[in-house]
């Protein structure tokens, strides 16, 4: 069975499956069948190499990917028990490890997990405690700095040391230290902690690390280009020793740099491990050759990448169609009309189409047009189930029941529904708690001994403590679903919603019912049905169950969320400078940011199997302002023979200058904050990095060359088919000789 499956693979895929020992880097281009390779590899390990399920660890980024992989592994290994195999996300993997041993680094094993809004609340509390004003220090910014530090495994102490000469960063260091302290006191971890605390645990307790090293003899990491430094280190620690580490990724699809993904992890894998096998999966099973040509041609404009060239056995296919519309309304109408026509003629059904955009704000006019044309659609993004107020309230109750030390959750629900415990009272409780270095809940328990709180407030507090302790004893006998019901009932939360006949309240009741059934489903599917397990599941999930995937509807989503998906027909909308690439990336004047935008465009293009439309407007109203549009540089970067311009899309050649002049006040202001020194450093780093020199044909180091687009320049590095050239006027670029004709100047 498994050998037959392997027979069907192409040589590169096959090598990736059969090379089971030692470090392997699989560079898997878009649509090259990497999930298939990974699942077959796991099957091969078990069937042919007789590796036990429990010795295999497969890590993904999303629950969706993990579930999908588990399903497909079970399909491949229909008669084997794979339950001991860990196929999980980074975060679940770490939670599992931490729940077992985090007490060794001084945390409570029944910690709760804080999401981003809990982080905001906690940082605001910290700011207040430090007497720093929220105005001067934006909590969201502080969180991003802290999160960044954690991704790089920089703890508060190291952070303070690192920025001791930087005034504003020193202030953030204070917040970071307090924040971390408060998390610990609340028995809480944030998402970043899940990773960094696991690394800390491994570093400080060799016995724990040894245990897992021994257990996970074969490690596979999917979407390796999205790993952060902390995740990288985690994997490195586990793989050290046996070195059976297989990472799969595509540097060209790295689009999460802004949330800590460090592209160096993939670019430097070969340096970090010894005797790395590099396997490139370049055969694409998804798209037509035209689409792949366009994608290849576009992405070669990026300097920092591993060379790959996708090819397909599929025929050439349809040209990429570019449409210029007058406004975003016309653009949306064009999309709707095209879909309508193709469905009417029976060529396509609705589910064959995806409308992709750079920013969620672009969805509105598309929705309107689809509604007018009565086209069914699904829109992805927007408020998540677990972010809804009523759900967060319930979760907060459950958390406090589970872990009374959780001050953040306690404050959320202490007066919800209203029970006469106002801000003043809470402040007094907080003061007392911080004085005694105790949790809020322990102050509440003996509130009677507190002199400066009114009798009325004390009565309310005692009432609250009473119901909470009732819940805590009910927890012993009831599963989570029943607990939610009890909380809704006993606290009067449901009553209050039912009294209010507004549509909003009715929706909330519906959502709470949904939440109960989510809990029931969880209980029927899992062995561990404890409240703690349920809360962990909730924290690590954004949507409870993805249904309706097979409905015949058009999909609307950002390009980011389309990653990993494919559609017969794709519309890439808003192909305009300042929208795509987004204004901030242009304004930053940093190549890395434009390159990430370009990769995003690459991801968008490679979602299409058969037909690709790109649309842009002449003028666009966004965020209440109307601006003239300039064609995206990414349109200009496509090869002419892959493209058909449906109407007169003007060829804007001087896009960079034009768009710079058109930058609005907001962008220019942002631009001023860009650190010039950093840019210079970046330029130097690029030169230094390319020192691997090979003498190839007549182009060598120091050669003067002429490029049709970028003019004259000097070769500063040669690596395989790539040559890096310092152009006289266009800066440094790496170019693949296979794509461009370059003249050598004597």
Partner DNA sequence: TCTGGATCGCTTTTT
Partner DNA sequence: GCGATCCAGA
Q: Kindly list the catalytic residues.
A: 34-35, 222-223, 253, 607
The closest of 632, 619, 628, 654 to 579, measured between CA atoms, is 632
Q: Is 32 flagged in the annotation as binding?
A: yes
Question: Which positions touch DNA (CB under 7 A)?
Answer: 61-64, 89-92, 115-116, 134, 191, 255, 258-259, 358-361, 381, 384, 415, 418, 420-423, 540-542, 557-558, 560-561, 582, 584-585, 593, 597, 621, 623-625
Cβ(329)–Cβ(574) below 8 Å: no
d(CA 637, CA 591): 16
Q: How far is the CB of 601 from DNA (least distance, A)?
A: 12
DSSP three-state, residue 206: helix
The closest of 678, 688, 661 to 588, measured between CA atoms, is 678
Q: Is 30 flagged in the annotation as binding?
A: yes
d(CA 231, CA 261): 9
The closest of 94, 73, 26 to 276, measured between CA atoms, is 26
Q: How far is the CB of 548 from DNA (least distance, A)?
A: 16
The closest of 278, 317, 406 to 19, measured between CA atoms, is 278
Cα–Cα distances (Å) from 526 to 88, 516, 533, in that order, read: 15, 15, 9
The closest of 493, 500, 501 to 412, measured between CA atoms, is 493
d(CA 207, CA 229): 23
d(CA 265, CA 256): 13
Q: Is 170 flagged in the annotation as binding?
A: no
Q: 417: cis peptide before it, omega within 30°? A: yes
Which tokens in the block code for residue 710? Answer: 């970028």
The closest of 465, 408, 407, 472 to 438, measured between CA atoms, is 407
Q: How far is the CB of 595 from DNA (least distance, A)?
A: 12
| CB nearer to DNA: pick between 82 and 415 | 415
CA 593 to chain CA mean position, Å: 16
Q: How far is the CB of 557 from DNA (least distance, A)?
A: 7
| CB nearer to DNA: pick between 255 and 468 | 255
d(CA 175, CA 131): 11
Q: How far is the CB of 287 from DNA (least distance, A)?
A: 22
Cβ(89)–Cβ(62) below 8 Å: yes
DSSP three-state, residue 188: strand
Cα–Cα distances (Å) from 294 to 218, 644, 740, in that order, read: 37, 12, 14
Q: How far is the CB of 402 from DNA (least distance, A)?
A: 18
| CB nearer to DNA: pick between 647 and 672 | 672
| CB nearer to DNA: pick between 529 and 561 | 561
| CB nearer to DNA: pick between 369 and 585 | 585
Q: Is 381 flagged in the annotation as binding?
A: no
Q: Is 505 flagged in the annotation as binding?
A: no
Cα–Cα distances (Å) from 470 to 385, 415, 483, in that order, read: 28, 17, 11
Q: Which residues contact 499 (CB under 8 A, 6 or more apart)?
A: none
Q: Is 492 flagged in the annotation as binding?
A: no
d(CA 432, CA 448): 13
Asked whether the CA dihedral 691, 697, 702, 706 is positive or negative, the reply is negative
| CB nearer to DNA: pick between 75 and 134 | 134
Report the half-sphere exposure of 288 (CA within 13 A, side-chain side): 18
| CB nearer to DNA: pick between 376 and 422 | 422
Q: Is 346 flagged in the annotation as binding?
A: no
| CB nearer to DNA: pick between 199 and 255 | 255
d(CA 110, CA 99): 7
Residue carrying structure tokens 């629900």: 413
Q: How far is the CB of 227 from DNA (least distance, A)?
A: 12
| CB nearer to DNA: pick between 195 and 281 | 195
Beta bridge partners of 378: 555
Q: Which residues contact 220 (CB under 8 A, 6 or more apart)?
A: 38, 41, 42, 56, 57, 58, 59, 245, 246, 247, 248
d(CA 429, CA 412): 14
Q: Is 618 flagged in the annotation as binding?
A: no
| CB nearer to DNA: pick between 25 and 443 | 443
d(CA 98, CA 113): 12
Binding residues for ATP: 28-35
Annotated binding residues, written as ranges, equal: 28-35
């Amino acid at each position: 069975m498994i050998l037959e499956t392997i027979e069907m693979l192409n040589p590169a895929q096959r090598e990736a499956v059969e090379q089971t020992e030692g470090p392997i880097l699989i560079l898997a281009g878009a649509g090259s069948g990497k999930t298939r390779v990974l699942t077959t590899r796991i099957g091969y390990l078990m069937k042919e190499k007789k590796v036990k399920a429990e010795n295999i660890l497969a890590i993904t980024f999303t629950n969706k990917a993990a579930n999908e992989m588990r399903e497909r592994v079970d399909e491949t290994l229909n008669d084997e028990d794979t339950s001991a195999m860990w196929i999980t996300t980074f975060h679940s993997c770490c939670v599992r490890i931490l729940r077992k041993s985090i007490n060794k680094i001084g945390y409570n094993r029944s910690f709760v997990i804080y999401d981003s809004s809990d982080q905001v609340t906690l940082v605001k509390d910290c700011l207040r405690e430090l007497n720093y004003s929220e105005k001067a220090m934006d909590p969201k910014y502080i969180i991003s700095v802290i999160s960044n530090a954690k991704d790089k495994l920089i703890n508060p102490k190291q952070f303070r040391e690192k920025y001791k000469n930087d005034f504003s960063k020193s202030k953030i260091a204070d917040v970071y230290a307090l924040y971390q302290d408060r998390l610990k006191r609340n028995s809480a971890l944030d998402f970043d902690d899940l990773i960094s605390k696991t690394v800390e645990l491994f570093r400080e307790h060799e016995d724990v690390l040894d245990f897992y090293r021994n257990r996970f003899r074969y490690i596979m990491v999917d979407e390796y280009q999205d790993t952060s430094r902390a995740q990288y280190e985690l994997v490195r620690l586990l793989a050290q020793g046996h070195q059976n580490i297989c990472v799969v990724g595509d540097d060209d699809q790295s689009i999460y740099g802004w949330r800590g993904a460090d592209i160096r992890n993939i670019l430097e894998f070969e340096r970090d491990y010894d005797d790395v096998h590099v396997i490139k999966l370049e055969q694409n099973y998804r798209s037509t050759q035209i689409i792949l040509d366009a994608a290849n041609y576009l992405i070669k404009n990026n300097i920092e990448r591993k060379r790959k060239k996708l090819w397909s056995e599929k025929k050439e296919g349809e040209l990429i169609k570019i449409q210029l519309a007058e406004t975003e309304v016309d653009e949306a109408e064009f999309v709707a009309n095209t879909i309508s026509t193709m469905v009417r003629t029976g060529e396509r059904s609705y589910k064959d189409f995806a409308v992709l955009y750079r920013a969620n704000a672009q969805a509105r006019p598309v929705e309107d047009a689809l509604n007018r044309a009565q086209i069914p659609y699904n829109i992805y993004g927007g408020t998540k189930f677990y972010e809804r107020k009523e759900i967060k309230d319930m979760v907060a109750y459950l958390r406090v029941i589970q872990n009374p030390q959780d001050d953040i959750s306690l404050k959320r629900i202490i007066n919800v529904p209203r029970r006469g415990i106002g801000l003043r009272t809470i402040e007094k409780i907080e003061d007392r708690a911080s004085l005694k270095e105790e949790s809020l809940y322990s102050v509440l328990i003996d509130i009677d001994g507190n002199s400066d709180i009114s009798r009325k407030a004390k009565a309310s507090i005692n009432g609250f403590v009473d119901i909470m302790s009732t819940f805590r004893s009910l927890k012993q006998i009831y599963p989570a679903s029943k607990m939610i019901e009890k909380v809704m009932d006993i606290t009067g939360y449901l009553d209050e919603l039912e009294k209010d006949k507004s549509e909003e309240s009715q929706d909330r009741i519906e959502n709470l019912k949904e939440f109960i059934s989510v809990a029931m489903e969880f209980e029927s599917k899992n062995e561990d049905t404890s409240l703690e397990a349920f809360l962990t599941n909730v924290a690590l999930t954004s949507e409870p169950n993805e249904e309706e995937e097979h409905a015949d509807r058009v999909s609307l989503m950002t390009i980011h969320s389309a990653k990993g998906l494919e559609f017969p027909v794709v519309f890439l909308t808003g192909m305009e400078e300042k929208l795509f690439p987004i204004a901030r990336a242009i304004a930053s004047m940093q190549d890395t940011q434009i390159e990430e935008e370009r990769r995003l465009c690459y991801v968008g293009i490679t979602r299409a199997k058969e037909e690709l439309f790109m649309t842009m407007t002449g003028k666009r109203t966004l965020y209440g302002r109307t601006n003239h549009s300039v064609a995206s540089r990414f349109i200009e970067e496509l090869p002419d023979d892959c493209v058909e311009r449906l109407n007169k899309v003007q060829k804007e050649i001087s896009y960079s200058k034009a768009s710079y002049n058109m930058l609005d006040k907001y962008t220019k202001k942002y631009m001023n904050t860009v650190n010039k020194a950093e840019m210079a450093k970046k330029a130097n780093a690029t030169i230094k990095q390319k020192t691997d020199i090979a003498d190839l044909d007549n182009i060598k180091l120091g050669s003067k060359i002429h490029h049709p687009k970028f003019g004259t320049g000097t070769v500063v590095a040669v690596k395989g088919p790539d040559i890096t050239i310092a152009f006289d006027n266009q800066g440094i670029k790496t170019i693949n000789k296979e794509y461009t004709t370059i003249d050598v100047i004597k």
